[in-house]
């Protein structure tokens, strides 16, 4: 699943190269041991391949974010493969449980074909377990390969449908980035990981939010809004179109800008510029407004490309 991690010789699921063994000794790339300070305790998952967690049989590690491991697993009752998100054992504390409950409560309220649906949330043998349908890969994995404009527009539209829907339900995602976009069969794209999402109020106070490099400037200052999600989504779409990430201080034109000319209609270029303005007032207000502008730019681009063929 695009992950470099696998199952090592002891049958343990996890990163051998950079994991810690049971004694808290870091294994470097050659498998040589290096002593670490005591505060860096276990960072490898305790769960092993083929281990059972309730009705689930673990098969491998798909990925891990800041707080959790995501495993591929078989639901032995339903007979389908799923993705299980389980917080890192060593890190289960009030903050992590807060984020997990937050993810459950927000995701459970959302019902949209482009949002990763929660199948189940429960506590099994002392593990907090979130169950999601299993996707093929993340958008990060997909971005390792070239992407055509047609595919980029297809993915962008689906991600924007998800964002527009979440915003219409007053949910601010706060962590829009390619790791949190999961691809399924038949080019279905689903936005996931509502772990730090928030219910919108007038101003949102940040709490351990976002990921540097994907975050709008004002969100880095601790004030995420729907306009911050618009910014992060703009960065992803720009990256899909050009193969390059705009970077701080986000001065237009961004690197790779020349590649857009001749490939997309100027309206699409204006769309990208407006979505990623440093001044949030100049951006689209929310996902709904951004989606509308995108659809116009997409139609213009399709006409433009048809004429050029
Ligand atoms: N349903 C899924 N199907 C396939 N891979 C997934 C799925 N959910 C998550 N992943 C992989 O696991 C990674 C971490 O999942 P995520 O929900 O973003 O957890 P975190 O909150 O720890 O960031 C993702 O970036 C993705 O690579
Ligand atoms: Mg994530």
Nearest atom in ligand 1 to 138's CA: 27
Question: How many whole angstroms separate alpha carbon 128 and alpha carbon 112?
Answer: 24
Which domains are present in the chain?
A: 3-133 (3.30.200.20), 137-308 (1.10.510.10)
| Residue 193 CA, ligand 2 centroid: distance in Å | 5
CB 152 within 8 A of CB 159: no
Question: How many whole angstroms separate alpha carbon 170 and alpha carbon 226?
Answer: 9
pLDDT tens for each residue of the chain, 309 residues long: 333 333 333 334 433 333 333 333 333 333 333 333 333 334 445 688 889 999 999 999 999 877 789 999 999 999 999 999 998 766 667 777 888 899 999 999 999 999 999 999 998 888 889 999 999 999 999 999 999 999 999 999 999 999 999 999 999 999 999 999 999 999 999 999 998 999 987 545 555 567 888 999 989 888 889 999 999 999 999 999 999 999 999 999 999 999 999 899 999 999 999 999 999 999 999 999 999 999 999 999 999 999 987
Torsional sign, CA 274, 279, 284, 290: positive
CA 194 to chain CA centroid, nearest Å: 9
Which segments of the chain are extended strands (E)? 6-7, 13-14, 26-27, 33-34, 52-53, 56-64, 68-75, 80-87, 120-124, 127-133, 137-138, 171-172, 181-183, 189-191, 198-199
| Residue that has been written with the tokens 């949102």 in this structure | 204
Probe residue for ligand 1, chosen from 102, 136, 138 as the CB with the greatest number of ligand atoms within 8 Å: 138
Alpha helices in 110-198 (DSSP H): 139-142, 149-168
pLDDT at res. 4: 34
pLDDT at res. 49: 80
Q: Is 125 a catalytic residue?
A: no
What residue's CA is closest to ligand 1, atom 17? 193
| Residue 179 CA, ligand 1 centroid: distance in Å | 7
Probe residue for ligand 1, chosen from 65, 70, 182 as the CB with the greatest number of ligand atoms within 8 Å: 70
Binding-site residues, ligand 1, Cβ < 6 A: 1, 62-68, 70, 83, 85, 116, 132-135, 138, 179-180, 182, 192-193, 195
């Amino acid at each position: 699943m695009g992950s470099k991690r696998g199952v090592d010789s002891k049958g343990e699921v996890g990163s051998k190269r950079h994991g810690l063994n049971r004694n808290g000794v870091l294994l470097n790339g050659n498998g040589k041991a290096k002593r670490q300070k005591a505060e860096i305790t276990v960072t490898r998952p305790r769960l092993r391949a083929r281990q059972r967690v309730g009705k689930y049989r673990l098969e491998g590690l798909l990925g891990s974010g800041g707080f959790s491991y995501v495993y591929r697993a078989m639901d032995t009752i339903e007979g389908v493969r799923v993705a299980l998100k389980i917080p890192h054992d060593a890190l289960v504390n009030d903050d992590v449980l807060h984020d997990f409950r937050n993810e459950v409560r927000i995701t459970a309220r959302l019902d949209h074909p482009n949002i990763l649906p929660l199948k189940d949330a429960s506590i099994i043998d002392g593990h907090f377990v979130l169950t999601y349908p299993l996707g093929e890969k993340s958008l990060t994995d997909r971005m390792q390969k070239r992407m055509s404009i047609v595919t980029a527009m297809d993915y962008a539209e689906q991600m924007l449908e998800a964002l527009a829907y979440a915003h219409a339900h007053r949910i601010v995602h706060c962590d829009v980035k390619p790791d949190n976009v999961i691809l399924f069969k038949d080019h279905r794209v689903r936005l996931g990981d509502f772990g730090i999402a928030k219910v919108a109020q007038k101003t949102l106070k940040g709490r351990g939010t976002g990921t540097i490099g994907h975050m709008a400037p004002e969100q880095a200052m601790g004030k995420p809004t729907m306009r911050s999600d618009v910014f992060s989504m703009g960065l992803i779409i720009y990256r899909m179109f050009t193969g390059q990430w705009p970077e701080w201080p986000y001065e237009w034109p961004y690197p790779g800008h020349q590649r857009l000319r001749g490939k997309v209609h100027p309206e699409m270029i204006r769309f990208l510029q407006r979505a990623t303005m440093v001044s949030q007032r100049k951006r689209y207000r929310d996902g709904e407004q951004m989606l509308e502008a995108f659809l116009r730019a997409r139609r213009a681009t399709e006409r433009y490309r048809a004429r050029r063929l």
